[in-house]
Structures are given as C-alpha cells and as structure tokens.
Amino acid sequence: MKCSMSQEGTLLSSGHPAETRPPDVYSAACPTRQLLDRVADKWTTLVLTLLRDEPMRFNALRRRVEGVSQKMLSQTVRQLERDGLVTRTVTPTVPVSVSYALTPLGGTLVDALQAMIDWAEDNMAEVSKAQTAYDERRLG
Amino acid sequence: MKCSMSQEGTLLSSGHPAETRPPDVYSAACPTRQLLDRVADKWTTLVLTLLRDEPMRFNALRRRVEGVSQKMLSQTVRQLERDGLVTRTVTPTVPVSVSYALTPLGGTLVDALQAMIDWAEDNMAEVSKAQTAYDERRLG
DNA sequence: CAGTATCCAGAGTGATACTG
DNA sequence: CAGTATCACTCTGGATACTG
C-alpha cells in the first residue's frame, strides 16, 4: 500500500524544510501510520483479545483488564466501535446492560495482535536476561 | 512463558502489589504486560521494521522515521539495545559512526509486528469508512 | 555524526462526583 | 449498570543548546 501525500511541514524542525520522500508507514501524515498508532495502544490490544473469546459487558471488561480506569475503558470501547472493530449492543433490562463483541473486521486484527502477545509470552525471559546483562555492564 | 490465568479477586485500583500473585497478560504487574507495553510503542515498531531490511545509522533512521525527535529516537534505540533486540556498533571513523542492527531475537519480534502493519495497510480503507459512518450517524 | 542536558507546554490519565 | 463531566496532576515528548 502506498500513501500519496507529501508531508504537512507544520511539525518539522526549522532546519529541514519538507523533503520529498517515498511516503509510507514511516511518514507522519499517512493514515496507515495513524491507524498503527491507534492499534498499538495498550488498552486496545487487551480489550480486543479479550473479546475474541466471547462478548463481554462493560464491567466484566473492567474487572478483567486490571489497571484500566472507567474513563479509559469507556474511551477505548467507543473508539473501537467507531473504527468498526467492535459492536455495542444495548439490552434494555432493568439496569441497562451493554455488551461488546468483535466484528469480523475486528477478528482479523486480533490475529495480528495475538502474534505480538504470543511473542511477549515466549520471549519475556530472554529479554529480562538481556536487560540484566546490559545493566550490569553499565554499573559493574 | 505463561502467566497464570487465575482470576484476581482483589482489585485495588491504587496499589502496585508486584510481588504477590502471578497474573496474566491482563494484569498490570505481569512482566509480559510490561513487555507488551514497550513493544506496542509507536517508535519501537517503526524502528524495528526498518532495521529488518538492513543495519542503519542513527541519522539514517532519523530521516526515515518521519516525525521522531532526536531525543525519542535516542531513547528508543537505547531501550532496544537494552532489551537485546538490536545491536549498537561504533566505528571510530573521523566523526564517529554508529550502526544499529537487529539481533536474532529482534528478528523474531519483527515478524509479529509486521503482521500488525500489514493489517493496517490492508484494512485502513474499511476502518475509515466505518469512522465516517459512525460520525454521520452521530451528527446527522 | 551521534548523542546528552535542560526547559517547559500540553496531552494523557486517574480520582471524584454526578446521571439515566 | 454503564456511562459522562470536571479537575488536578503526572510525565511524555518537542525545542533548543551543548559535547566528544
């Protein structure tokens, strides 16, 4: 995929006026990059992978995603709904209940994200070892 | 590595009981979650995928990753080196030159990240459509 | 060239209180 | 239950200047 824009120039430092480069993911204004920023969000990843298994209600998500605030979860699910990645279903029970579920589009994204999580689970130990080695080299 | 998937009973919002129970990815204190946070970082993703193709020098990366500041790039590559994902090679030329390259461990991570980028490139259009539809539903 | 140090504006986030 | 609104605060991250 190719983005066809040139850079905005507004956010660049003074010394380098806009240069013409093949525009791709690494360009700031590319929509793909914007999407990547969103997708790489911490809560987004966790919420989406939770919903892979089953639809969940708001407070169920909140309990499961430890450390998320009401505000951030609310923000996250609204964003996901806007992006067409999850559906929001309101059931008019006595206290209203709201359920969130993956859309097919969201499902395809979860697969990519899961690869990332799997990597983290598989390689955490090795990374920790590298960190320790690095720190000892610096301090010792 | 897999953190235990036990459901946490006590969810104190303010505390950081890092050493009590082994939680899963969705728990705040799990090392896997910490790693995921790092990996999901914006610049990390871009730098790592750039290095997949070839080793690059500092300013080459800087030019390529549009919008990154010197400070953030410096921070990012140092972190990546500490995590054992990239190597930092100093060549004592006249002005010193520093080259960064992926380690084998870093290479395995890039594959997972690339899946995420591919998804973004493939589905950007559909997401944009969903966003527009959502916004029109709200305003119209 | 490849950084480090400093300053500081503002986005992101949590706590709290309130609503349907 | 499922949010929204408001405020206070942290902490990222950009701009700038300096160093080896």
Half-sphere exposure of B128 (CA within 13 A, CB side): 13
**Average pLDDT value over all residues in chain A:** 80
Of A39, A105, A131, the CB nearest to B83: A131
How many domains does chain A contain in total? 1
Domain holding A90, by residue range, is: 31-139
Least confident range of A9-23, A25-39, B67-81, B114-128: A9-23
CB–CB contact B128 A69 (8 Å): no
Instruction: For residue B59, give both structure tokens.
Output: 């300013």
pLDDT given for residue A29 in this prediction: 63
Band the pLDDT of A28: cuts 50, 70, 90.
Answer: low
For residue B15, give the nearest of B25, B29, B3, B33 by alpha carbon. B29
Is A20 a residue whose pLDDT tops 60? Answer: no
B56 CB-contact burial (10 Å; exposed 0-12 / middle 13-18 / buried 19+): buried
Q: Is residue A5 part of a domain?
A: no
Q: Is residue B4 part of a domain?
A: no
Q: Is residue B39 part of a domain?
A: yes
pLDDT given for residue A1 in this prediction: 44
CA of residue B48 to C1' of nucleotide D20, angstroms: 28
Residue A78 touches partner B, C-beta closer than 8 Å: no
Q: Is residue B71 part of a domain?
A: yes
Q: Is residue A1 part of a domain?
A: no
Instruction: For residue A129, give both structure tokens.
Output: 């070892």
For residue A82, give the nearest of A38, A51, A25 by alpha carbon. A38
Q: Which residues from A are below 8 Å from B53, CB to CB?
A: none
CB–CB contact A120 B25 (8 Å): yes
Residue A27 touches partner B, C-beta closer than 8 Å: yes
Q: What percent of chain A has pLDDT over 90?
A: 50
pTM of the shown model: 0.81
Of A35, A112, A129, the CB nearest to B127: A35
pLDDT given for residue A31 in this prediction: 62
Q: Is residue B18 part of a domain?
A: no
Q: Is residue A96 part of a domain?
A: yes
Which is higher by pLDDT, A14 or A41?
A41
Q: Is residue B23 part of a domain?
A: no
Q: Residues B71-101: pLDDT tens digits?
A: 999 999 999 999 999 999 999 999 999 999 9
Q: What is the DSSP letter of B72?
A: H
CB–CB contact B134 A42 (8 Å): no
State the average pLDDT over residues A10-30.
46
Q: Residues B8-58: pLDDT tens digits?
A: 333 333 333 333 333 467 776 666 677 777 776 778 888 999 999 999 999
CA of residue A2 to C1' of nucleotide D9, angstroms: 41
B116: domain CATH number is 1.10.10.10
For residue A76, give the nearest of A104, A97, A45, A55 by alpha carbon. A45
CA of residue B45 to C1' of nucleotide C13, angstroms: 23
Q: Which residues from A are below 8 Å from B84, CB to CB?
A: 126-127, 129-131, 133-134
